[in-house]
Amino acid sequence: MKGNRKTVTKTKIIDVRKIEKVFTLHERNSIQVTGFSDVSFSVNRGELLALTGVSGVGKSSILKAIYRTYLVNAGEILFYRSDKSVVDLATCGESRILQLRKREIGFVTQFLKVLPRISALQAVAAPLVETGVAEQESLCQAAKLLNMLGIREELFNISPLTFSGGEQQRVNIARGVIAPKDLILLDEPTASLDEQSSERVLTLLADMKEKGIALIGIFHDRKKIERVADKTYEISRKNTDKSFQDIREVA
């Protein structure tokens, strides 16, 4: 048996070290709101890290900090590229970020944003066309992905803006994962999906891990986490509220 065992070498892709985000609300007398603080974790290629924690604790903000929609106030976000160079996503220049977003780091947001009059198939194929893949081939891959996610073929040529919430969410996932990436961030990818559709998404995520893609996803459901996550990082209220005392610690 020993001889058959696959040797898995873990290669780190991201190292998040003690990051903190404080929002200053300029239009509100510069009130300060902590998004999160003292957050540290790392992820290897081919792994899925599940971020968990109660509402408002900073989960989405952490993904946005990695994707650099938000700039952190403190800490490092070291991204290990396949050419062995290392980039600190917390401090690197904007042009480097834009370059990384093209081929290396993807973000599946919670809601689909597409232009009207673009079909579901075109909306999903677009990110692949942008990387230089021929349109026909991109549409073909988009159809495969939509099929896998359980979207009926009769919807393919219709604008996804008319779709149900769960259908839009699946189109959004297909659009977010169609172009090759090394690290993909997913904000509640199964939030409004029934069991069967969730299962399809989880299978897709498992396939991506097999290909060596690293994933950081926000999940609430323990069963789903157990099904796909290699590790879990729980953001606690201590990460947003410094005066917060965990009642379990007090007892």
Ligand X SMILES: Nc1ncnc2c1ncn2[C@@H]1O[C@H](COP(=O)(O)OP(=O)(O)OP(=O)(O)O)[C@@H](O)[C@H]1O
Residues lying near ligand X in the complex (CB under 6 A) are found at 23, 33, 35, 53, 55-61
Query: Is 148 within 8 Å of 173 (Cβ atoms)?
Result: no
Beta carbon nearer to ligand X, 56 or 165: 56
Both structure tokens of 18:
């003690």
Closer residue to ligand X in complex, CB, 143/185: 185
Place of tokens 């069967």: 196
Minimum CB–partner distance for residue 251 and ligand X (Å): 25
Query: 56 touches which of ligand X, Mg ion, none (CB within 5 to 8 A by kind)?
Result: ligand X
72: nearest Cα among 59, 94, 90: 90
Please compute, for residue 9, the number of CA atoms within 13 A of its CA located in the half-sphere on the CB side: 1
Closest by CA position to 124, among listed 79, 178, 163, 80: 178
Beta bridge partners of 42: 15
Tell how strand 86-88 and strand 105-108 pair up.
unpaired
**Smallest separation, CB 59 to Mg ion (Å):** 5
| Shortest Cβ 8–ligand X spacing (Å) | 31
Q: Name the binder of 33 from ligand X, Mg ion, none, CB < 5-8 A by kind.
A: ligand X
Q: Which of 60, 122, 172, 190 binds Mg ion (CB under 5 A)?
A: 60
- Name the minimum Å distance from CB 89 to ligand X: 17
* Gyration radius from the chain CA atoms: 19
Length of the chain: 251
Which of helix, strand or coil describes residue 73?
coil
**198 is in the binding site of which of ligand X, Mg ion, none (Cβ under 5 to 8 A by kind)?**
none
Q: Does 240 bind Mg ion (CB under 5 A)?
A: no
Q: How far is the CB of 82 from Mg ion (least distance, A)?
A: 29
**Residue spans of alpha helices (H) in 105-156:** 120-130, 135-148
Q: Which is nearer to Mg ion, 56 or 231 (CB)?
A: 56
Place of tokens 């401090």: 91
Task: Quote the least distance from Cβ 114 to ligand X, whole Å.
Answer: 22
Interaxial angle between packed helices 120-130 and 165-177, expressed in degrees from 0 to 180 and rounded to the nearest 10: 20
| Site size with Mg ion, rule: CB under 5 A | 1
Residue with smallest beta-carbon separation from Mg ion: 60
Q: Which is nearer to ligand X, 107 or 156 (CB)?
A: 107
Q: Give the binding site for Mg ion (CB under 5 A).
A: 60
